[in-house]
Amino acid sequence: MRILIVEDDPLLGPGLQTGLRQDGYTADWVRDAEAAEHALQLEHFDLMVLDLGLPGRDGLVLLRDLRRDGCCLPVLILTARDAVADRVSGLDAGGDDYLVKPFDLDELSARIRALTRRRYGPSTAVLRVGNLELDTVHRRVTVDQRSLWVSPKEYALLEALMRNADGAVSRAKLRSTAYGWEEDVESNALDVHIHNLRRKLGKHRIVTVRGVGYRLVSEPGK
């Protein structure tokens, strides 16, 4: 799952990014509304964590502009504005949730999971494809009810493939889901992780779709 953090604080922004990455998310950070709009125009994100007190254009204005333009991206407002009127304004402007600073990272992660369930449906706390299960709360993978260890990058790729089971997912989408704007990513890193997943799940479980990307199949061989 890829998250865009929009936060101007030079300490909180990287701190949020590090904390969310440690929780297994792919997190990218920008510091103002213009950079956020640019990122959203060019790349895919699953959720945005938005501060309201941004330099230049206020976060509330950015949110209203995005909703006016038809952007349906889930937005979690993260701000020091704690008055009831501020919360009402944030939610009425299109925010999906509202968390006041200071906050606990565990609560932030729980709210992100809740927003994900709202978007994809309550049943998606556990994704199931054939005999394969992925628990998005405890970040656990099982095959035939047997636990399977996967690395954080493998987990991110597997979740993206499972959310699109039996459909092709492009290499570009998988790469952005797993790495975001991380630097020093080797050109064959995606292929290495897919190879490792095939070794763990069975070589016929993930099919190469030539010229597109990869597809996770419900039943190998079909």
Condensed to tens digits (0 to 9), the pLDDT of residues 3-45 reads 999 999 999 999 999 999 888 889 999 999 999 999 999 888 9
Enter the pTM of the model: 0.79
CB distance 122 to 158 below 8 Å:
no
Residue 29 β-bridge partners: 5
Report the distance separating Cα 96 and Cα 117, nearest Å. Answer: 12
Strand boundaries in 54-139, DSSP class E: 75-79, 97-100, 126-129, 132-135
Q: What percentage of the chain carries pLDDT values higher than 70?
A: 96
Q: For residue 120, is pLDDT > 80?
A: no
Predicted pLDDT of residue 24 = 83
Cα distance between residue 124 and residue 222, in whole Å: 24
E strand or H helix at 214, and its extent?
Answer: strand 213-216
Residue 209: helix, strand or coil by DSSP?
A: strand
* Mean confidence (pLDDT) of the chain: 90
pLDDT on residue 184: 67
Q: What is the number of residues in the chain?
A: 222
Please tell me what DSSP assigns to residue 125: G
Interval 187-221: pLDDT, tens? 788 999 999 999 999 888 999 999 999 999 987 75
Which pLDDT score is estimated for 183? 63
Give one DSSP letter per residue of 93-112, joined into a string: TT-SEEEESS--HHHHHHHH
Q: What is the mean pLDDT of residues 131-136?
A: 90
Return the ∠ at Cα 23 (arms to 20 and 29), rounded to 5°.
15
pLDDT of 122 above 70: no
Residue 135 clears pLDDT 80, i.e. is over it: yes
Contact 159, 134 (CB under 8 A): yes
Domains in the chain, CATH or no CATH each = 2-120 (3.40.50.2300), 123-216 (1.10.10.10)
Q: Which residues contact 40 (CB under 8 A, 6 or more apart)?
A: 4, 48, 66, 71, 73
pLDDT of 70 strictly over 80: yes
Q: What is the pLDDT at residue 154?
A: 93
